[in-house]
Amino acid sequence: QQLQPNDSRTLFFLGYSHELEGRFAEAIASYSEYRRRTLFDPMAKQLQARVSQLNVKLAELEVRRALREEKEMTLGQPKSNTLAVLYFRNVSERGEWNALLKGITYMLTTDLGQVQSIRLVERTKLETLMKEVALSSSSLYDRFTAPRAGKVLGAERVVVGGAIATGSSGIQLDAGVIQTSTSMSVVKPVRAVGRLSDVMQLEKQLAFSLIDQLGVALSESERESIQKLPTESTLAFVAFCRGLEFADSLNIPQAQAAFAEALRLDPNFKAAEQELTTLTTAVLPQQQFVALAASDPTASKNAQHLEAISNATQNWNASATPLIPPVQTGTIVVRGKIR
């Protein structure tokens, strides 16, 4: 990698080696970088599915270790600037809102993840914690205080929130940030109120308000990224939320149907497309995975290009005719000597 940092095949086998050794975080980083470079669709889809699987494995390892260390009273302090978004409480106890609030958590985690100065704990880790201790999103706060959940997730601070109905078609979202070490609120609570049909815009209001309360100065690109709605269709977003709920419950056929419905309502819904691709792409066995990487024309082209450069460099002779004619400077260059 040091000699040929732009070689895609190097990135792939580096990630593959990390995966075999159980270094899932390093494997994810290498595969993710390789994924950004490849234009080979089958490989891109396979990497997406594989990284998703490795994220789950990594989350399981970290959460189980944290729960064990908590029991042994050896759980250390989280890294600085780490933030986790917990599922919002369904204060109105409207069952049909559970999936919607899961979607809001997904959006808020994604938006706060656009801020370079904040280290976001992925939603996968939160969902893993819920599975490890057999919790539902509605029972999270019955068994875990927000600071305790934050410590197990490895977050210095946690975003907590709730949703309540306002009238027959309105919703009120409230959110705040708690320091896990002190259990104290570190920002002024924020609120967004509006129609249920405008729930995505309300989430954006919450995101910007929380960032402002945290005292984070956004760059123009960060602000633009956060401002983008995942979809213009509220119905597509609701279908997406149902897909998340089904996927987390391992009800894969219904999850696939829900994500497909979201894409039918909005073919440009990238998050729904990504989730559907992950669910419908089977992770290949190791031998087939390596064979697919070998057939990636993007990697092959890069390798051939690098090999051509290497050969040209090795075969070049300083006494031979220069590869690039010298600039006319009034002096005469003969065999590398100036006369």
Which of 30, 38, 35 minimizes the C-alpha distance to 10?
Answer: 30
Q: 309: number of CA atoms within 13 Å, CB side?
A: 10
Residues 6 or more apart whose Cβ sits within 8 Å of residue 100: 199, 238, 241
pLDDT number for residue 141:
74
Distance of CA 72 to the CA centre of its chain: 31
Contact 66, 154 (CB under 8 A): yes
Residue-level pLDDT, tens digit, the chain, 339 residues: 888 888 888 999 999 999 999 999 999 999 999 998 888 899 999 999 999 999 999 999 999 999 999 999 999 889 889 999 999 988 887 788 889 999 999 999 999 999 999 999 999 999 999 888 877 776 677 667 889 999 999 999 999 999 999 888 899 999 999 999 998 998 899 999 999 999 999 999 999 999 999 999 999 999 999 999 999 999 999 999 999 999 999 999 999 999 999 999 999 999 999 999 999 999 999 999 999 998 888 775 554 444 444 444 445 444 443 433 344 444 444 454 444
pLDDT number for residue 300:
57
Distance CA 292, CA 278 (A): 17
Distance CA 304, CA 151 (A): 49
State the pTM of this model.
0.81
